[in-house]
Every structure is written in C-alpha cells, then in structure tokens.
Structure 1
Amino acid sequence: MNHSADIPTVSIDELPTEEYVLLDVREPDEWAAGHAPDAIHIPLGDLPSRAGELPELADDRPVHVICRTGGRSARAAAWLNAAGIVDAVNVAGGMKTWQAAGRPMVGEHGDAAPEVL
C-alpha cells in the first residue's frame, strides 16, 4: 500500500531558501559521492538509534528528509512523524532532482566532482 499521501511532501523548488534542516538518509557511499552542503547525514538504518539527535538540531523547525529519489526519505519522514520525534517533510525526487535543479553539492572525494549515485 502507498501511504505517501499521508506524508507531508515538498518539491525541491518548494524548499525554504534558508534556515531549514535537511536530513540525508542515504548510505555512507552515496553521501560521500555528493550531498547538499548543509545536510545532516543519518543513514536510514541508523535513524532509530540516532533520532534523538534531531529535535536539538531541528530547534522546532520541520526536518526535510532527502534520499536518492524519495522512497527512503518518505519512509523516514513517516516514521519520524509517527514516533513524534520531529515534524518531518519528505523531499520529492530526492538528490537526483536536487542535482538536476542545479542545487549546490559537495562530495567527500577530494578532486572528484560531486555526483548522485
């Protein structure tokens, strides 16, 4: 079943321009290849054990959750909302759309251009 209708969702274009919290739930290799400059990285599998970090980081703001294309982030947002940890919003299209929209990206591989795996 598709419960995505119950999950608050924004497009890349609808993201706030500043002062927003972006949580990247992709795997470490995906993060290292390329991510948003100010994103917080907590892989989806680590979220249950690390979710306690989010309320302090969010500071009462919604947490925008992003992955590669929007599937994992939708699950993460649904879980965070259901657990009452933070107000989570899924970012539709994920980092693939972020990159296509020309949003800034940084990588962890030195000279290699950031990319979305």
Structure 2
Amino acid sequence: MAPLTALTADQAHSRLHELIVIDVRTPGEHASGHLPGAHNIPLDHLDAALPALKAAADRGDLLIVCASGARSARACRRLADQGVTAATLTGGTTAWIQRGHDTHRPAGTRTPWAMDRQVRLTAGSLVLAGLIAGQRWNAARRLSAGVAGGLVLSALTNTCGMAAILARLPHNRPRTTDLEATLAALAG
C-alpha cells in the first residue's frame, strides 16, 4: 500500500471500494449524511480508537473525512504521529456532495444540524444577547466582543473552539455502544 496524503472527492469515489473510510465529525453530523460505508469516530475519540485504526490500516488504506477537510487533516497528522498512514478527503463531505456523489443517512434517524450551523446559531445568539443586554449593562457588550474575537481567531487558525465545546453536547456525542461496535468492526 502506497502512503496517501490527500484525495479529491472524485479520486476517493473511484477508490471507495478499497478504502476504509473514517468520518471524524460528530455523530449528529455523520447522521446528516456520510460517505457510503463510513465509520464514525469523532475527532475527540481518535486517541481511544488508535488500536482499532492501526489494525484497520494494516488491512487497507484509511481515508479520513470531515465536513471541510480541516478536522480530517488534523486527524491525519495525529495518526501519522502514531505511525498510522491515512489520507484526508480534500474539501470533505462538502466537496463530495458538490461533485454529486451519494451520501448515506441512517433510516429513521432525526438529523441534527451540521456543526457549522450550530456554531452560527450559538455565535449569533451570543452576539445578539450581548448587544441587547448591553443596552442596559455596558459590560454585557464584552460578550459580543468576545464572540467576535473568537470568530476572527477561528478563521485565522482554521480551528473552532466553539465547535469543540458544542461537540460535547449530548446530541453530538456518540453512544458508547455505537462507538464500541465501530471499534470492534475496525479491529476485526
């Protein structure tokens, strides 16, 4: 197996039958639509999944997927630090969908909002609350300034602290049984 670093949506589509796809988005994002056959291991569970991912990488090439490619690139770097070679999907599921490739959604699953939508709602709500409360208490305007500063930092560093916090909410967390089943399938 040749080491991979990045695949475009079209390259991944043509090789999907031979790739082991790991989706590092939250369970809610994964449920909203994922690459066919993708296993969901949220980014914050990557270290716990390392033994299963090493076993899977011994059997085939790993493709790490997220919404835009930022989290999957981070996951690939973390895996590389542990001696596991994996590729990232350039542009993530967004590019996959834009290229017209199919996604799968679990039947009967309520689809939570995508993480970027959750971040926009939370950031907008906090800014609005800070501005409204600032009409009465000037210090409340600091909330709006703090959120604005966080959004600028997020753009400059291509990370998102608010998404990291929101990912810890119950609807964004994997059920223990789901994660255990995924790890068992990958290890086997």
TM-score range, shorter chain: 0.7 to 0.9
- How far did 1:30 drift? 0.2
Q: Structure 2 CA distance, aligned partners of 1:106 and 1:79? A: 27
Per the TM alignment, residue 91 of structure 1 is displaced from its structure 2 partner at its CA by 0.8
Determine helix, strand or coil for the equivalent of 1:65: strand
Displacement of 1:59: 3.5
Change (3 A) 1:68 1:30: same
Alignment of 1:33-112 (within 5 A): 33-84=32-83, 86-108=84-106, 110=108
Extract structure 1 runs of 4+ deviating beyond 3 A.
none
Unpaired runs of 5+ residues, structure 2, are 115-188
| TM-score, normalised with respect to structure 1 | 0.81
Shift of 1:40: 1.1
Tell which deviates more after alignment, 37-46 or 51-60.
51-60
Give CA-to-partner distance per residue, 1:32-85, whole Å, 9 cap, x none. Answer: 11111201110000000112111323343221111000000000001101111x
Q: Which has the larger radius of gyration?
A: 2
Alignment RMSD, CA only?
Answer: 2.3
Q: Distance in 2 between matches of 1:70 and 1:41?
A: 15
Identity of aligned residues (%): 32
AA partner of residue 14 (structure 1): Q
Aligned residue number for residue 10 of structure 2: 13
Looking at structure 1, the residues matched to 21 and 43 of structure 2 have their Cα atoms a distance apart, in angstroms, of 14
Q: Residues 56 and 62 of structure 2 are in contact (CA less than 8 Å); yes or no, is this contact kept in structure 1?
A: no
More helix as a share of residues: 2
Higher strand share: 1
Cα 1:18–1:25, aligned 2, differ >3 Å: closer, same or farther? Answer: same
Where relative contact order (Cα < 8 A, 6+ residues apart) is larger, the structure is 1
Q: Report the count of equivalent residues.
A: 109
8 Å Cα contact 2:57-2:85 kept in structure 1? no
Tell me the secondary structure at the aligned position of residue 21 of structure 1: strand
Task: Report the CA distance between 1:29 and its aligned residue.
Answer: 0.7
TM-score normalised by the chain length of structure 2: 0.52
2: distance between equivalents of 1:63 and 1:37?
Answer: 14
CA distance in 1, matches of 2:26, 2:47: 15
